[in-house]
Structures are given as structure tokens and as C-alpha cells.
Structure 1
Amino acid sequence: VHNVVNDAVDLLEFRDRVIKASLNYGHLVVSTSLQCYVFSTKNWNTPLIFDLKEGTVSLILQAEKHFLLVDGGGLYLYSYEGRLISSPKFPGMRTDILNAQTVSLSNDTLAVKDKADEKVIYIFEALSGKPLGDGKPLTHKTEIVEIALDQKGLMSERKIAFIDKNRDLYITSVKRFGKEQKIVKIGTMVQTLAWNDTSNILCGIQDTRFTVWYYPNTVYVDKDLLPKTLYEKDASEFSKNPQIVHFVGNQITIRRADGSLIHLNISPYPAILHEYVSSSKWEDAVRLCRFVKDQAMWACLAAMAVASKDMATAEIAYASIGEIDKVQYINSIKDLPSKESRMAHILLFSGNTQEAETLLLQTGLVYQAIQVNINLYNWDRALELAVKHKTHVDTVLAYRQKFLEDFGKKETNKRFLQYAEGLEVDWNKIKAKIEMEIAKERERAAGSPAARA
């Protein structure tokens, strides 16, 4: 073992033949035919040693808090103190064919690609070894080639990235509560990928470009912003079929097809930005972006701020990248009378129409839910809500009539014709009703415990 910082050299000798070794997160894990040795990089003299049931360890994967051993008998998760944490199992499990591309580990989650059905990924809680959430595996429409879990943040925000056989790169959340989870495509012609060890930055080789997704979560917050959050570089120097081996700090190690290693450095600033945002240091984050003067950093900050519902920072960031329409929309959100309305419009801003409507209905803001659907031209849903809650049917019909008149069209929808029979549209009445709804919402917001406090 050669310490490149102080040039110290340690020679580690083992009683039996070394089968596998892995060095990461400040620990060296070595498996021999009979035992497993865990060395701390701070002290090479006293390793922690425990016996193995089988001496055929085929894979060692490390996370910050624990590591995974894969042998002929199964998957075993150990702490760095040598304690067995869990041993996840799934139907038809074959451990002999698992490798670093088909298994991924983070501090709280383990993901394994199924061999029997290659469209399926089994996701487990690391500490208990039980399937995550509702117990159903993650299923994709085509066969999956490579998987990778992000390493930082809370379990509820854990993301998995995977490449399918068409070489498309997708990202999705591992936490699912019975509803269909959005699996979103963020890249095409991707050959290899890796997450950073200390922040949720993803890198990959995409066609002839080496690409870094500084904040892949942007795709759930503001899809249009994703191209602005990327760093790209020509990848022709890596030759054919390169493989990303490590992405540690701001250094990426790539193995070429001939076995030689190439080291790349990327900007350290996005990782610092991730750190500031995870600690809610928004002023420091803005200061950093002003110092770096990079459009990608501002785009990342805009998406991070919207994801954390910090609209003041989002406004500064969007203004810095010239997205004036979004700045105006954020300003309109600030002027809304109640917290519920503001939350719903932030959800709308991120394209989550269904969640926004549900939030408004749950908090009794029926008119606002109807108005959201009118603004989005979801006429059938707007009418359905108005009829169901016996309110603002005339409002929906009036807006629909105005919409058709503006485009010189006649009403053809049977439901609208049915409700329009014998109903006179009076805009003065409708405007008075709308003003009353807004006043009612203001009063309610003023009377809430949060407002009083």
C-alpha cells in the first residue's frame, strides 16, 4: 500500500490467497479463501478479521457506512466493524452472475437487477434486507444493462439511474407508495455511468461526449432547465467501450478498452453548491454562483431552490440565466393569499398538475382547483369538479364560452351543451363570486395559527 501524500509504503501479507479487494470510503476490504479483512486507511496494522462461510467472494461493493460481499451463497451486508447487518433475498436469486453493473449499494438502499427478467430491479432496505416500500420491484419497459444508486441525501429522496439495452439513460426515485413512479429519460446512447461519492452528481459517456449531470433531479423540477445543468467534453480520447471506474471528489477515473486508466478533473464548485443547499445555506449558494459566473451553476441553483420551495433564491437564479417568464411566474406565486395556494402553484411550476389539484381540494380550496384546470384548458376536469362540488358551474361555462369565441369556434362538447341549457352567463356575477372566493381565502390564511404566530 503506497500512501501518495507522504510516500509511506506498507506491505500487507495474508495467510491465504487473496481473491477480491476493494478500496473506498477510507477502508480497504480484502477477501481471501477463508477470511475477510477490513483495514482502516488510518491504521494498516490492526485489521478487523472475520471468517467467511464460503471462500468464493465474487464481488465487494462499498458504501460510506457498510459494504456488501457477494458469494455463491448469497448477498451479505456488513458494517466496517465486521457485524452482519442483513442478507437480502429475492425469488430466483443467482449470485454467481452479479457484477458491479447489476448491483448497486448506498447507505440505506441496495438495488439488484434480476437475471430471470432483465426489465426488473429489486430494491431493498440495506439495514433490514426487506424489499423497499410496497415490496414491488421496479419494472422498466425494456431490458436493463447497468444500474447505479446515488450516494448522498435522505432515503426518501434516493434516486436510481439505469441504462437500458437501447443505451438510453433513465432516472427514477426508489421510494414508491403504490403509485406509478415517473421514470424519466435524461440521456441517449450512454455507454457507462457513475454517481459521485459525496454529492448527487452523475457522470456518463454519451455517444462521443463525456457528460456530467450536475443536478439530475432538475428533470423533476423544471425539465426545460436540464440541458443548462450539464457539462460536456469530447470523449474521443477514451477510444471504444470505455468504462467509468470511480467518481471520487472532482476526479473521474476511466478505464479504456486496452486496460489503461485515464484521470479527469471536473469543476469542484457544483459539489460545494450541493453542500450549501443540503445545509440550507442559500445566501452562500448565491454568493458562490456570483463568484463562479457559470450559467450551469445558476441553472442548478434555480432547480435546487424550486425543489426546496425557496422561491426567493429561485427568482435570483432564474433572473441570472435570463428566464424572465419564470421570474414573473414566481412573483405571481408570492402574491397568492394562502400558503396552500402558493404550494400548489409551486407544484404546477414543476409540472405536477395532479398533485397541485389534490392539495387544493384537500384544503377546501375548490374554486382555486377549478381555476387551475381552466388555466390549463382542462375543460372536462374543470366542469367535473364544479358539478361535483355544486359550485362555479357558471364560471367554467363562461370561460369556456369566451375561449371558443376567441377562436371563432362553436360548442360541440355534449356535457357543456347540457349544462349551458337555460343558464345565463353573467360576468359581473362571476367576477363578484371570484372576488368573494379570494377574500375568503385571505381571511382564512389570516386566521390560521401560522399567520397568527
Structure 2
Amino acid sequence: KVSLAYDHLVVATSLQCYVYNSRNWNTPLIFDLKEGTVSLILQAEKYILLVDGSGLYTFSYDGRLISSPKFPGMRADLLNAQSVSLSNDTVAIRDQNEEKVILFFDIMSGKSVGDGKPVTHKLEVVEIALDQCGPSSERKIAFIDKNRDLYLTSVRHLRKEPKVCKIGSMVHSMAWNDSANILCGIQDHQFTVWYDPGVVFTDKELLPKILYIKDGSEFSRAPHILSYVGTKVTLRQGDGSLVYSSVPAYPAILHEYSAAARWEDALHLCRFAKDRCLWACLAGMAMANRELSTAEMAYAALGELPRVQYINFIREQPSRESSLAHMLMFSGQIQEAESTLLQAGLIYQAIQMNIDLFNWERALELAVKHKTHVDTVLAYREKFLQKFGRKETNKRFLQYSEGVEVDWEKIQAKIEMELCKEREKAANNPVRSSVAARR
């Protein structure tokens, strides 16, 4: 078996493994193999993964054995490039007994990642691929299921149910870029590149805007992507021949600027390239990094006025916690936003957030539970119903409206007092986030 990637050539013979560095082809590093019959070699920037008849092993490029991940019922002889994926910190394996399950292992320890809970999909998974860049806390995995739908989810999800987002359909093959978190795939006879697939977790409305699509007529039937290095994608066609396709270089540069927090350079690049896809990528990256000024300019370039207005609203929030909660809400993480406000003791803000979302019952529940702003909820509810010419039918609202007087002047005064208290609390807090500081 032979594998060439990340400036290293790895050759496995029946007894030994040879690791050649591209800077010195004359003297390979050699280490012995236990089993000998290596069936699969995968490479990441820092590690090698070898699969033989007895198990799965990760090595560093200096030949040091790092770990040997195992799980009950593992059959190493059935593992292949579609069911195993490697990154600098994680090994992902599709369970052979239950093909809906994807298991994650830490490279250094060989143990399950986080709380050990795997990702369980609703259908059988046919191909998996870990992204190669960024910190381990932001590691993501793309996978294709039996219906040929492409999904993206986080590897480390901190005791929460992982959010699994569909980003494509009719996808037959995929690969991550080696130096940026850019994903390419063969999608319904087209060659598609997702410049920043992670944007689906920040603003899913941007997803269609970050696609680069090429006609697949230049490829023969059933091409399979072998690698995506730099700006070059290597594909193997149905007849076994290799073909190459190029991808614009700007998105990778934008990822580099984002990772280094060089937002001014990122803006200059987008203005120079004059590509709406890049602006959409920058908007998603900036929001993910809570860089509101850059996000505002990117959304403005896309003509997304409502989002520009909402970003300004976020910046005007009286405290760091409120800003953070509204950013979570912007990304569709409603429960996390509410939890952030409640943990900070901002009960009114949590109630108002539910009112703004027309989540009336939850707003009333919070108001009753914390014995505050019940009249605020009832007032906004009444205003809402009057606007649509409807009468109250909800028993809980009818029950509380009998004993609570709605006085808009008192309500407005109470709201203003809450906001003043929040501003004072934020002003007295010496630790201020960049979000709050940029208000």
C-alpha cells in the first residue's frame, strides 16, 4: 500500500512501513509492522493511520505509535477509506454493526471523544470525512447517507445533542481541502464546492450563496474524488483514468485571513474579487467569530438589509450577555440564547425574546415562574391579537388577564428600568467582551 499526502510518502510492505519526507527522498524513516498486511493508509498533516488484519493504529511521521482505537465488534478487515476518516486530533469510524452510527476517537488517547456518545443518523451512512483545519473544538464531519444526502455535524458537542444539518443532496463523492475547511463533491452530475460549509450553523440562509458549481460533463460516468489539495481536485473516472479540476484560490485565502482574525485583509480581498460567494463566506465567518463590524459590511455587500439591521440591534444591547444571546438567536440557537439570559439573571430579556418570537406560552411561563412582567406578556399578547382582529382563546392567558391590569405606561417604565439596571451592571463589570465594547 502507498499513500502520498502532506509532503510525505508512506509505503507499507509486508513487514515494514517506510515514511519518506519530500525534503529528503534518500533516507526514509522505517518501522516494523505487527501484522504486516496493511489494507488501508490514511494521512493527516501530523499523523498516519494504518489498518491491518488485527486492528487500527495511528502513528506520527517519526514512526512513533500514538494510539490504537478499538470498539466492540470492530472488524479491521472491513474498514475502508469511506468508513474511516482521520484528522489531526480525531479518528472517525462508521460502526460496522450499526451503519447509522459514527464513532469518534481521540488520536492521542485512542479513547472515545467527549462523553463517548456517537452520532446516530436516521439512515445508513455510506461515506464519512473529517475536516482537516481549525482547532479540535470546532472539528466537523461530513457524511453521505444511503439516500445520497450530504450532512454536516460537529464532532465535539459538549453534552448536547449534535446539530446535524443537511447541506446537499444526490452527492456521490466528497473530499475536504487539505489546507482550508472547504468541501467539494460530485452532486447530481455537477462538481460542487462548498466554500464554507460551516456557515449552515451560523446562518443557513447563506448556504446556497457559498456554492461554486461546475458542469460535470467534462467527467465520464461515476467519477470519484480522490483528493483536494490546494486548488486542485483529483478525480478517478469510471474507466480508471485520472482527471483534474481546479477551484478558485480566493476562498482558501479568505479562510486563512479568518483563522488569523485579519478581518481588514478579508474585506480587501472580497472587494478586490467582487464575488458574492466570497462576501457570503465572509458574513458567515465573521458572525461565527462574533466580528460584528465585518459581518455588517459583508451582509451590506450582499444587500441583506434585515440582517444588517439586526446586527446593529445586537450591537446596541446593554450588556455582553444580551449581545451573545441575540447572536445565538441569529444562528437559530433559541434554547441556548434563552439559557444565556436566564443564567445571567436577565429575566426580562428572556421574556422579551420569547415575545419577539411569538412564543407566547413560554414567555408567560417565565413571567409567572419569576413573578415579573406578567403584565408585559399580557399586553403584547393583547396587542398581537388586536392586530389580527382575534380574541383570546388560550385558557392560561384568560386566567391571568382577569387578575392583572394592563397599563402600557407602567410597562414601558418597568422595561426602561430593567434596561437601565442591565446597563449599570454591565458598566460595573470589568470584563467586557469585544462585542459589548464595539457598541
Question: In which range does the TM-score fall when normalised by the shorter chain?
Answer: over 0.9
Partner in structure 2 of residue 95 of structure 1: 76
Which residue identity lines up with residue 169 of structure 1 in the other structure? L
Q: What aligned pairs does 1:308-327 form with structure 2 within 5 A after superposition?
A: 308-327=289-308
Partner in structure 1 of residue 273 of structure 2: 292
Instruction: Say whether 1:210 aligns with 2:191.
Output: yes
Instruction: Say whether 1:122 aligns with 2:103.
Output: yes
> SS state of the match for residue 101, structure 1?
coil
The offset of 1:243, in angstroms, is: 0.4
- The higher relative CO (CA closer than 8 Å, separation ≥ 6) is in 2
Partner in structure 1 of residue 283 of structure 2: 302
> SS state of the match for residue 421, structure 1?
helix
Distance 1:80 1:73 in 2: 21
Distance 1:171 1:283 in 2: 29
TM-score (normalised: structure 1): 0.94
Q: Give the one of 399, 424, 449 matched to 2:405.
A: 424
The offset of 1:184, in angstroms, is: 0.5
Which residue identity lines up with residue 400 of structure 2 in the other structure? Y
Distance 1:349 1:137 in 2: 28
Distance 2:334 2:157 in 1: 19
Partner in structure 2 of residue 38 of structure 1: 19
The offset of 1:451, in angstroms, is: 5.8
Distance 1:442 1:84 in 2: 55
Which residue identity lines up with residue 347 of structure 1 in the other structure? L
Instruction: Say whether 1:84 aligns with 2:30.
Output: no
> SS state of the match for residue 77, structure 1?
strand
Which residue identity lines up with residue 270 of structure 1 in the other structure? P
> SS state of the match for residue 302, structure 1?
helix
> SS state of the match for residue 406, structure 2?
coil
The offset of 1:111, in angstroms, is: 0.4
Q: Give the one of 361, 371, 377 matched to 1:390.
A: 371
Instruction: Say whether 1:403 aligns with 2:387.
Output: no
Which runs of 5 or more residues in structure 2 are unaligned?
none
Instruction: Say whether 1:251 aligns with 2:244.
Output: no
Confirm or deny: 8 A CA contact 2:177 2:228 kept in the other structure: yes
Q: Give the one of 44, 49, 52 matched to 2:30.
A: 49
Which residue identity lines up with residue 126 of structure 1 in the other structure? I
CA deviation string 1:86-144 (max 9, x = no partner)? 00000100111111111000000000111111101111001110000111221100000
Partner in structure 2 of residue 153 of structure 1: 134
Partner in structure 1 of residue 53 of structure 2: 72
Distance 2:384 2:305 in 1: 26
Confirm or deny: 8 A CA contact 2:172 2:186 kept in the other structure: yes
Compared with structure 1, are the counterparts of its residues 203 and 406 closer, same or farther at alpha carbon in structure 2 (3 Å cutoff)? same
Distance 1:393 1:422 in 2: 10
Distance 2:129 2:123 in 1: 17
Distance 1:342 1:305 in 2: 15
Partner in structure 1 of residue 42 of structure 2: 61
Which residue identity lines up with residue 132 of structure 2 in the other structure? Q
Q: What aligned pairs does 1:349-360 form with structure 2 within 5 A after superposition?
A: 349-360=330-341
> SS state of the match for residue 450, structure 1?
coil
Distance 1:94 1:451 in 2: 52
The offset of 1:239, in angstroms, is: 2.0
Partner in structure 2 of residue 111 of structure 1: 92
Q: What aligned pairs does 1:249-288 form with structure 2 within 5 A after superposition?
A: 249-288=230-269
Distance 1:191 1:204 in 2: 7
Confirm or deny: 8 A CA contact 2:38 2:50 kept in the other structure: yes
Confirm or deny: 8 A CA contact 2:89 2:136 kept in the other structure: yes
Partner in structure 2 of residue 137 of structure 1: 118
Partner in structure 2 of residue 6 of structure 1: none
Instruction: Say whether 1:378 aligns with 2:341.
Output: no
Which runs of 5 or more residues in structure 1 are unaligned?
1-19
Runs of 4 or more, structure 1, over 2 Å off, are 450-453
Confirm or deny: 8 A CA contact 2:363 2:377 kept in the other structure: yes
> SS state of the match for residue 193, structure 2?
strand
> SS state of the match for residue 191, structure 2?
strand
Which residue identity lines up with residue 233 of structure 2 in the other structure? I
Which residue identity lines up with residue 213 of structure 1 in the other structure? W
The offset of 1:286, in angstroms, is: 0.3
Confirm or deny: 8 A CA contact 1:134 1:176 kept in the other structure: no
Distance 1:416 1:267 in 2: 57
Distance 1:136 1:280 in 2: 32
The offset of 1:176, in angstroms, is: 2.2
Confirm or deny: 8 A CA contact 2:320 2:432 kept in the other structure: no
Distance 1:262 1:382 in 2: 58
Instruction: Say whether 1:222 aligns with 2:199.
Output: no
> SS state of the match for residue 424, structure 1?
coil
Greater Cα shift, 83-92 or 42-51: 42-51
Distance 1:379 1:214 in 2: 38
Confirm or deny: 8 A CA contact 2:17 2:31 kept in the other structure: yes
Partner in structure 1 of residue 172 of structure 2: 191
Instruction: Say whether 1:180 aligns with 2:143.
Output: no
Which residue identity lines up with residue 411 of structure 1 in the other structure? E
Distance 1:116 1:237 in 2: 38
Compared with structure 1, are the counterparts of its residues 451 and 158 closer, same or farther at alpha carbon in structure 2 (3 Å cutoff)? closer
The offset of 1:428, in angstroms, is: 0.8
Partner in structure 2 of residue 3 of structure 1: none
> SS state of the match for residue 374, structure 1?
helix
Confirm or deny: 8 A CA contact 1:197 1:249 kept in the other structure: yes
> SS state of the match for residue 181, structure 2?
coil
Which residue identity lines up with residue 254 of structure 1 in the other structure? L
How many corresponding residue pairs? 434
CA deviation string 1:355-395 (max 9, x = no partner)? 11111111111000000000000000000000111100010
> SS state of the match for residue 146, structure 1?
strand
